[in-house]
Amino acid sequence: MNTLPLISVIIPVWNEEKRIVRAINSIRNQTYKNLEIIVVDDGSTDNTRTAVKAITKEDPRVQYHYHHDPKEKCTNWRGYDISAGYAARNLGFKIAKGKWLTTQDADDASLLNRIEVQYEMAEKYNATLVTIQWCELTEENLHKKLDVEHVMREKGEANVVIRPEEIIALAERVRGPLMVEPIHRFIPFPIKWFPYTRKLFYREPTSYPGADNSMLFHKSVRDTGFYMRHRNERTWGNPAGRGSGRDFVFRVAAHFKNSWSFRLPMYLWDVKQQNPEYAGYDKYLI
């Protein structure tokens, strides 16, 4: 009998028929098995639906949900994606039945013990939200696990663990002086974006110390009313108009004061460069 709690994995997808199967399978094959995998289609016009539906017939843990709001603005005036699936993620959050929730992008993948490690870290440190780090997705590491004990032994726990107080301090440092709730919501985004006023809202571009697209958080976060926010509501977004995940994790860290991050590269990002901070970590893959 499985005594481990159910973990809900939310995968927003838009026109990713070529990569969505890889993303889902990297979750289906996780060492942590008690999962529900919620795929939220954000209005795809390709064969994404067909690809996901085929998997739902093979694995009852996988669900397909369609979401598309034609009124929701997905790109800015320059044609850049400013949605990044935030509304689709929110639908997944609402549907989720798990004690813990995590996310996975449709064009990326995860090392096979990513969720197990995040859950174990959440339990060990009594954390509300846990993030890890990313590395380049390659054919060689797609079906691998990270030997976390080996990393901890060689690097030392103090050099792997980022504690809540560090994250809270960073949250305060990166937020601009005019990013005050709820006043900033009444200031149009172009004013926040304008180069001469930008520092008043986005003090510095430092990233959250963990991959916000693969966070694991307790359902109490969602039950308290924390969802991803629209562009002009984001206190910790970014000047490009994106940053829904960055806003979410910084906001949770500042409110619950119990977010932990770990320098463990376990999220596989489909980019053509290695994370420079984790070059050489291939030796820890098993």
- pLDDT above 60 (res 71): no
Flag whether 239 is in a domain: no
What confidence score (pLDDT) does residue 242 get?
87
In three-state secondary structure terms, 162 is strand
Flag whether 168 is in a domain: no
Q: How many domains does the chain have?
A: 1
Flag whether 245 is in a domain: no
Name the residue range of residue 159's domain: 7-163+211-224+260-277
Taking only the tens place, the pLDDT of each residue in 84-103 is 579 999 999 999 999 999 99
Taking only the tens place, the pLDDT of each residue in 135-179 is 999 999 999 999 999 999 999 999 999 999 999 999 999 999 999
**How many Å apart are CA 93 and CA 127, to the nearest integer?**
19
Flag whether 64 is in a domain: yes
What confidence score (pLDDT) does residue 219 get?
98
What confidence score (pLDDT) does residue 123 get?
98
Say which CATH number the domain at 215 has.
3.90.550.10
What confidence score (pLDDT) does residue 85 get?
78
Residue 278's pLDDT band (cuts 50, 70, 90): very high
Diameter over CA atoms, the chain: 60
**How many Å apart are CA 164 and CA 168, to the nearest integer?**
6
Flag whether 230 is in a domain: no
Query: Is the overall model pTM greater than 0.85, yes or no?
Result: yes
Flag whether 282 is in a domain: no
Q: Which of 171, 272, 182, 178 is nearest to 212 (CA)?
A: 171
Token representation of residue 220 = 């109490």
Flag whether 76 is in a domain: yes
CB atoms inside a 10 Å sphere around CB 53: 14
**How many Å apart are CA 281 and CA 140, to the nearest integer?**
13
Taking only the tens place, the pLDDT of each residue in 172-208 is 999 999 999 999 999 999 999 999 999 999 999 999 9
Taking only the tens place, the pLDDT of each residue in 106-122 is 999 999 999 999 999 99
Mean pLDDT confidence for 121-143? 97
Flag whether 92 is in a domain: yes
Token representation of residue 241 = 């108009």
Q: 212 vs 215, 243, 249, CA distance in Å?
A: 5, 9, 7
Contacts of 86 (CB under 8 A, 6+ apart): 228, 229, 230, 244, 245
Residue 81's pLDDT band (cuts 50, 70, 90): very low
